[in-house]
Each structure stands twice: as C-alpha cells, then as structure tokens.
Structure 1
C-alpha cells in the first residue's frame, strides 16, 4: 500500500511536469516572459549604467571596510541580541486567515476562467502578479512571514486525513530547488502574466500536486521540504524584523506559535543564525532565490533580447535556449559562491571545511535577493494598484479602461537604493556571522574577502539589470 501511494504521487508529479513542459514548449515560440505588458508598466531607469556599476561596487566595498574597522564583537552582539518578545494567541486568527485564503484561491481560479481575458482587467492576473507576487512577497521580508497563517494548500492539507508516509530523507530539500527553478522557467516562457485561463490551469495543476504530496507525506514534511513557495517565504521571512519567538519553520504547529508568540529583532538579525537546512540543499535553495529573481529581470533586457534572437536565428530552438540559460546562470551563481567559500577557508586559515563555510554564510545572500525583488517589483505594484482595486470591485465585469499610475522620473532611483540597501545588509550579516564563527578579529575579517568580491559582482549585475530599459519580447 505504501509503495503504491508513493508511486501514485510520482505519477501525478510526472504528469504535471509533462504538462508544464508542454505548456512551456507551446509558448516558447513567442517567449512573452514574465510581466509581458506588466513589465512595461513598471517603468525603466534612465541613469548612466557605468555610474551605477561603479557606485554600487564602491559602496559595498566601502561598507565592508567601515564595518571591519568601526565595529567589534561586543557591538555586534548588542545589536543582534536585542529583541522584544510578545505573547500572541494566534490560533483563532490563523484559522480565520486560512479559511479566507482558501476562499481567495478558489475565487482567483474562478475569475481566471470566467473573467475578462484582458490582463489589466482580469482580477486573477492582477491579484497573483501585482497583489501577491509584487506586494505580498515584499511584506514577508519587510515585516514578517505570515504565509504559514495564509497558506491555502496547507490549510486544506490539515483539514483532511493524511497517510503520513515517511519522506525520503535522501531527497532533502532538493525537490524545492527544482520546483523553484521550474516555476520561474514556466513564468518566463509562457504568458502566465497575460493569459488568465492559463494561469488558472497552472494553479489547478500546482494544487493537485501539492495536495497529493501533502496527503501522502503529511503537511509538515511536504511544506517543510518540498513545496517551493512555502520554502521561499520561510527564507525571505528571515530577513524581516518580526520572527516567531521559537521557530521559523513552516512545519511549526499552531500550538507552538500560540505558546511562544512573536519577537521583534533588528532587520536581518535572524540571518546570523544557522539555516534551518544545514546542508547543500539549503545553500542551493538560497542561491536559487537570488538567481531566479535576477533571471526574471535579465530576460527583459535589450542584451538578452538581441542575444536570444541571434542564437535562435542561428538554429538553437527557444525551448532549449531558455532552460539552458536558466541552468547555466544558476550554475554560475552557485559556482561563484562555492568558489568564494573555498577561498574564504584559505584567507581565514581555518579548520572548517569550505562546505561548512558555504552553509554558514549562505543566509547573507537573502538580503540581496530581497533588495532586488523590491527594486524590480515596487514600480509594478504602485503603477497597477488602481487597476487591481478596480478589478476587485467587480471581478466579472471590471472597468473597460482601468487606471494606471504613471511613475515619476525619480522613481527609478528608488530601485537603485533598494539594491544597494540589500547588499549593505548582506555585508553586515556576513560580517556579524564571521564574528560568531571565528574567534579572532583578524580571522573573521579576512574570511569575508572572497564573499565581498562575490557580493560586489552580484551588486553590479543587479544594478545593470535595474538600469537597463525594458525591451520587447524576443521572437515576436
């Protein structure tokens, strides 16, 4: 019985993956990319690129020098040790929010199928991409991770009996890494941001696989190890100032949350604690978060459009080009981090292995991903919020011409500020982590040299993408 259930889940997952691949293949010829028309609404940055690159790299390097010379172990412990704990009976609130989230999920699917086909008028498109992906995600790393109380799939999974089969520990969290890369690839190659019918079908497919997995392995195992969305929010939530007082795990029970309440800490303070997944899979997922956000912006730049048109014109099918670029870029980002970890072991002259160093410092990459996400999507959220409100006021028959906010010219500078702030926080987190790991001051400072170099490269890449104007989709 146990093997048959697992086999059934595997077949369902393979069927969903096959369907996803077929959808992606069908739409790769047009390669609308995430945002399509939504991306254009976010505006572009009109400031010299070389200025951003030099300034960004210089600011990150200078912040490392400043932190190294003017801070000591006592100061860092005082900052990161500050916290205020408040008991909060959250059981009733969690039950209510989960019921509402399930209703909202059903409503999004229904409106996607039945509402207008125009993306700026369809509430499903606007809720998912503007309200949830652009707006809600920002609250997770700016305020706190409320997804455990809102996750509609977990709510359903906890309302029905489960088989509670043992999750294969050898898989670890690698399925969530593959899932995150796969979702972003589908987002880029298909018109999910333009076609509400397709979006609803993808949500239905994702729901089937998620609930089947939770049914077989139990909610704690599935949402703690496999589900990429729950894992993404759990990691982003570590950047926020509000944390669960006991445990930040998605697998935590409501009773544990009710007993311990919430705590207020300085932003990023939780990142100096070891990752909940102390292994290669945890590092791989952190790098995947950073890369998919970068990839999502990169495929909308003129450089990518010109290169993609040239490569496809030379004979490489688009269905090969996009996943190849996704995997190659991810391998580059992951390889750069692992290489920096090896050099950090040398510069610090420590007995710790490079794998241990990579795991211990991986969390410092999360502020970079958060800063770039905010830079990439804040303009989208602000400009399309009126359209979102109009669509929600009458989902089946919204206004013909929804309002859109025109962003002022200076708004693009905010994107640069968010990128730099994210990198500055990353440097601080790495600095604080080094003082916790290494006993000597000079050893702690020297351990950060390779990581600062990698962060400068990440900074320049992010600023280049932010400063690049939006380009028309390739192959059109």
Structure 2
C-alpha cells in the first residue's frame, strides 16, 4: 500500500500537462444530431425492453443448454506459442522502459507510448473480452516472479481491497499525469510498478499476489470471462471438465457465458472491484467531456487545486456507484422475497456489470485504436529514428454508431446474464424475475449515462 501511495505521489509531482491515453489525439466523439433526451430515452428503453423479452425465457433447461454449448477450434502449436508469448512479454516491457528513456520524447513518435496506450491498453485489452484472456500467460511480471525465489508468506485477510485501491490509483495517475506525452515518465511509472509487483510476488508468492492483489491481472481475468474463447482463467470448471481443452485446440462458447459462474465473485471486496472497474471506465470518459470542465471550473476559480478535485471525484464516484449497487441488491432481496442476504445477491448479480464495463471500454477505445494503429506500425521498425510524418487513420462518418452499439451490446448481454443468474439462484419463476427489477433499473440509468458520455465532444481533462 505504501508503494501504491508512492506511485500516486509521483503522479502528483509530475508537471501539470494533460495526460490520458486519449491525449494522443487520434479520435474524437461527436454529438448526436437528434435531441439528446430522445436519444438517451431510446437507449434506456432498448435495455428495458430487452429485460421484458428475457423474462419470457423461463425454461431453465433451455438456459442451461444455451450456456452449455461448446465447440472446439483447432489451434496447432498452442504451447509453443504460449512459451514465445512469455518471452515476448518480458522483452516487451524491457523495450518499453528503454525506449521511453532513450527514444524520441514525443508522444506520437515514441514507441513506448504507442505500445502501452495503443497496442496494450486499447488493442490488447479489447482482445481479452473479444478473443479470450491471455494475460495470465503473457504477463511479464508473473513470468519473472515464477523464476524468482518466494517467501510464500500469507496475505492479510483483506480480500481484494488492495486490488481496488490499486486500480483506482492507476486510473488516477493515468488521468492527472502526462503519461501519454512524457515517455520518460511513463518508463519511470512502469519501473515503479515492476518493483512493487515483483516485491509483492516474492514476499507472498506469484499465485497469491496476482490472484488477489495485482489490479491489472484482475482486470484481464474478469474481462476474459466475457470472451467466447475458454481459457484457464475464464473457464467454468464444472462445465469445461466435460470438454477438456486439448493442447492443439481451444474451446469456444457463447459470449458472456463465463460470467454465469456462481463462484466468479466470492466476497464483498470482489464486488467492490467489479464496481471499481465499471466506474473507472466511466470516470475516464467523463473527465474528457465539456460537462466536467464546466462542473469543476467554479471550484478551480475558487482556488481548489485541480489535482485535489480529480482524485476526490474518483473516490466519491466509486463510493456512489458502490452504494447504489448495494442498495439495488437490498431492494432485490425485498422484490425477490428471498431469505438470501443482500450481500449474496450483490455477489451473484455483480458479474453482469463486467459485460457493461467491457462494452464501454470497446466504445471508448475502438476508434482510438484503429486511428493510431498505423502510427504504431510505422514507428515499430525504427523506434529510435521514426519518420517525421506518421499516418493517422481517419475513420468514416458511419463509425460514430459503433460506440453506441458497443454500449448497448454490453448492457443487453448484462441483462441476459443477470436473468440467467436469477433463474439459477431462485426456485420460483416470478421470484427470479422480480429480483431483477432494481438491478435492471440501475442498468437502464447507467445505459443512459454511458450513452451520454460517448456522444459528448472529447476534450483534454481540463486544468491539468
């Protein structure tokens, strides 16, 4: 925890320059041409209507058959590729650190900046919820930790709260410090993260550290459960034992089925992490809207430091999101007329939120990735002497509908997963449907919020 605070202090000590992956300036959102209120109500109505349609599916056997579908896809050389990926991950981190220090100190010309923001946080993260979680294999820090000696000390009984704090801290550093403009600072943060992570893995063991503490590993693990590709981190042990993965193949399933696991979220701290993941994607987009600028401008004019406003808003928003979700769980206990505790319902209905977070991440980063991928490809062959002019792809006008579709797709998938969870949890059909009322209302409200954010003009986070 001390190390995380130290990394945060480094972010505050950095020069006051706009940061954020989006500060590379590849893509911008555009306002919708229809009345905003009509657009948002339509989006909320779509999610509400999907709940009504899902309510007609009350045959438990049909739901189980849908979720139990599996197919096998040939994947020759899978183990060899995994070994290459482990080595590539370690070399990749080493190159990022080195090029961040010695390469061109310009965002669009520095390979370290492009690899971290375009290749990894945008492109690779999307692969986790679209094609399957591979971070448990690629993770360079885990690869190094597994060859280092370990003290294997027991973790304190704090659940996943260190991962919650770590995730919010990383998001805060991303927003308030110029990590997308200052390659040397980015390399310093990567070095600091590496020291903290390897030290923790040595003291507590790689399995304990990366399964319970490391926020990045947790993000990829949860996202992997959305993907249609079954991996060791995103499979259901009960179902997948009937369809074991061969060394030369991978198992396929329907998207989101991994989120139906009853043991995916096991305690209140993991509920908090899922909510933090959802809130962090929202916060990252919200602070880049004109509405945020107009909201904090009076505070800045009154003398409140912007560097204090940003973390305060991050923490306050998380508390509000978590409080609203836990309130919905308590109301679900009443509407579902169940003896189950509200905490149990909160754990069971938390996985659908991961689908929403994935949909919003796709909406936030797909255009960004596609626009800057040519830049990454151009700089990659000559990272120390990149071309003076790099190509930025201009997306067609119709592409503006993709973020909206991504947000809606994430919410529609979440509605179905919540429906399946309710029918797995409650014996009565009406009881299962009624238990979803408060959760669905929260999803409708969040749908409208997300759609509003993705249709706002993009600006740099102000006053930094």
Greater helix content = 1
Within the candidate set 270, 276, 282, 2:264 is matched to 276
Kept after mapping to 2: 8 A contact 1:122/1:391: yes
Within the candidate set 220, 224, 227, 1:237 is matched to 224
Alignment of 1:364-379 (within 5 A): 364-379=352-367
Match of 1:213 in 2: 200
Within the candidate set 8, 14, 20, 1:34 is matched to 20
Kept after mapping to 2: 8 A contact 1:36/1:191: no
Residue 426 (1) aligns with residue 414 (2): yes
Within the candidate set 272, 283, 291, 1:295 is matched to 283
Aligned with 2:164: secondary structure?
Answer: helix
Residue 463 (1) aligns with residue 451 (2): yes
Alignment of 1:130-149 (within 5 A): 130-149=118-137
Deviations 1:6-48 (A, max 9, x none): xxxxxxx525522431432444x44x1413532x321212314
Structure 1 residues 19 and 342: CA distance shift in structure 2, 3 A:
closer
Aligned with 1:60: secondary structure?
Answer: helix
| Distance (Å, rounded) in 2 between the aligned partners of 1:394 and 1:87 | 35
Residue 43 (1) aligns with residue 36 (2): no
Kept after mapping to 2: 8 A contact 1:302/1:471: yes
Within the candidate set 153, 168, 172, 1:181 is matched to 168
Kept after mapping to 2: 8 A contact 1:245/1:260: no
Match of 1:80 in 2: 67
Q: CA deviation at 1:407?
A: 1.6
Residue 61 (1) aligns with residue 48 (2): yes
Kept after mapping to 2: 8 A contact 1:340/1:451: yes
| Distance (Å, rounded) in 2 between the aligned partners of 1:342 and 1:58 | 24
Deviations 1:112-138 (A, max 9, x none): 111111101111111110111110100
Match of 1:444 in 2: 432
| Distance (Å, rounded) in 2 between the aligned partners of 1:435 and 1:475 | 49
| Distance (Å, rounded) in 2 between the aligned partners of 1:186 and 1:353 | 37
Residue 202 (1) aligns with residue 227 (2): no
Residue 266 (1) aligns with residue 251 (2): no
Kept after mapping to 1: 8 A contact 2:225/2:234: no
Kept after mapping to 1: 8 A contact 2:264/2:351: no
Kept after mapping to 1: 8 A contact 2:230/2:250: yes
Kept after mapping to 2: 8 A contact 1:387/1:402: yes
Alignment of 1:322-337 (within 5 A): 322-337=310-325
Kept after mapping to 2: 8 A contact 1:43/1:407: no
| Distance (Å, rounded) in 2 between the aligned partners of 1:245 and 1:17 | 32
| Distance (Å, rounded) in 2 between the aligned partners of 1:135 and 1:333 | 27
- Between stretches 372-381 and 72-81, larger displacement belongs to 72-81
Q: CA deviation at 1:183?
A: 0.1
Q: Which runs of 5+ in 1 are unaligned?
A: 1-12, 250-255
Deviations 1:178-232 (A, max 9, x none): 0000000000000111111100000000000000001111100000111000010
Kept after mapping to 1: 8 A contact 2:271/2:347: yes
| Distance (Å, rounded) in 1 between the aligned partners of 2:460 and 2:260 | 41
Aligned CA-pair RMSD: 2.0
Q: Which runs of 5+ in 2 are unaligned?
A: 237-243
Kept after mapping to 2: 8 A contact 1:305/1:472: no
Q: CA deviation at 1:154?
A: 0.3
Q: How many corresponding residue pairs?
A: 454
Aligned with 2:397: secondary structure?
Answer: coil
Q: CA deviation at 1:270?
A: 1.2
Residue 192 (1) aligns with residue 172 (2): no
| Distance (Å, rounded) in 2 between the aligned partners of 1:269 and 1:121 | 41
Within the candidate set 412, 420, 441, 1:453 is matched to 441
Structure 1 residues 99 and 139: CA distance shift in structure 2, 3 A:
same
Within the candidate set 106, 114, 123, 2:111 is matched to 123
TM-score with structure 2 setting the length: 0.93
Aligned with 1:393: secondary structure?
Answer: coil
Residue 113 (1) aligns with residue 101 (2): yes
TM-score with structure 1 setting the length: 0.91
| Distance (Å, rounded) in 2 between the aligned partners of 1:91 and 1:158 | 17
